[in-house]
Amino acid sequence: MDKNINIKVKIWRQNGPKEKGRFETYELKNISQGSSFLEMLDILNEQLINEGQTPVVFDHDCREGICGMCSLYINGHPHGPDEDVTTCQLHMRRFNDGETITVEPWRSAGFPVIKDLMVDRTAFDKIIQAGGYVSVNTGGIPDANAIPIPKDKADMAMDAAACIGCGACVAACKNGSAMLFVSAKVSQLALLPQGKVEAARRAKAMVAKMDDLGFGNCTNTGACEVECPKNISISNIARLNREFLKAKFKD
C-alpha cells in the first residue's frame, strides 16, 4: 500500500544556455508514493509559486510514455531508476522516505540547456529532416500494402520504429553519441522495400547531419541500449554502419 514520504529534491537550475548553472535543494513533505515523478514536480512548483519563487522549468507533454518529452536525468539514470519507462511513467514508490533525489537535464553538446531541466532537442528534428523519410512515389495505400515483406523484416522494422526520440541514448552515452537514435530511424526504413530506393542517400545525409550537430562518436559501450525506455537494440547501429559503408562504396 502506498504511503506518504518526505523527500529532498536536488535540482539543476540554469537561466539559459550561456548562464552558469547550479544545484538547488528543496524539501517536500507528505508526497504520495502513488503519484508520478512529474506530479511531484508539479507539487514542488506549486510550493515555489506560493513562496514567491521561480518554478522549475521542465519538459512534458502526453504523460503517457509515448512522446519522450519528459526526459530527465534522475539519480544518475536517464528517465530514472525504473527500466523500460519514460520519466512520466516513473512513480514515487521507487523512492524512500528521507531520500535526496538528484534531477538534471540531458548533458550533451547536441542538447543545449534552454532553462533549468529543459533542453533544446531540435537537433533530432534536423537529423530526421536530413533523410529520415520516404519521398519516392510508392503508390497508393492499397498498392503499398500489396508489397510482400518477410515477417522477420517487418518485425525488425517495427521494433526500430518504436524509438520515440527522447534522447536517453545520448544522455547515457559517455561520448554523447546519437547513433542509436539515427540507426533506429535508418533501420525502420532500410528494412522495408519502400525505403530502399533512397537508402544510400539517407544513410550518408543523416550521419553527416548528426556529426555536424556536435554529437559524439559511438564506441559500442552499450549504455544507450540499457537506458533506452523502448528497448531499441544496438544491432541497429551495426545495420547503420553497413548502410553507410555500402553508400560510400557506391560513391
14-71 confidence digits (pLDDT tens): 999 999 999 999 999 999 999 999 999 999 999 999 999 999 999 999 999 999 999 9
**Residue 128 CA to chain centroid, in angstroms?**
14
Q: How far, in Å, CA of 196 to CA of 191, rounded?
A: 8
pLDDT band at 137 (very low <50, low <70, confident <90, very high): confident
Question: pLDDT category, 2, cuts 50, 70, 90?
Answer: confident
Q: Would you kindly state where each structural domain of the chain is located, as residue ranges?
A: 4-115, 122-250
Kindly report whether the global pTM for this prediction surpasses the value 0.85.
yes
- In the numeric block, which cell numbers belong to residue 23? 544545484
Which superfamily does CATH assign the domain made up of 122-250 to? Alpha-helical ferredoxin (1.10.1060.10)
Residue 208: is it exposed, middle or buried by C-beta count within 10 angstroms (0-12/13-18/19+)? middle
Q: What are the two backbone dihedrals, phi and then psi, of residue 111, each rounded to the nearest 5 degrees?
A: -125, 75
Q: What is the pLDDT of residues 153-176, one digit of tens each?
A: 999 999 999 999 999 999 999 999
Query: For residues 91 and 32, what is the distance between their CA atoms, to the nearest angstrom?
Result: 9
Q: Give 202-215 pLDDT, tens digit per residue.
A: 999 999 999 999 99
Nearest to 196 by CA among 235, 232, 250: 250
The rounded distance, in Å, linking the Cα atoms of 191 and 235 is 13
Residue 147 — very low, low, confident or very high, per pLDDT cuts 50/70/90?
Answer: confident
Q: Considering the chain, what is the average pLDDT of its residues?
A: 94
- Three-state secondary-structure class, residue 116: coil
Report the C-alpha gap between 229 and 85 in whole angstroms.
5
First to last CA, the chain: 63
Is the pLDDT at 142 greater than 70, yes or no?
Answer: no
Q: What percent of the chain has pLDDT over 70?
A: 96
Percent of the chain with pLDDT over 90: 86
The CATH number of domain 4-115, selected from 3.40.50.300, 3.10.20.30, 1.10.287.3510, 1.10.760.10: 3.10.20.30
Joined together, the cell numbers standing for residue 87 give 520519466
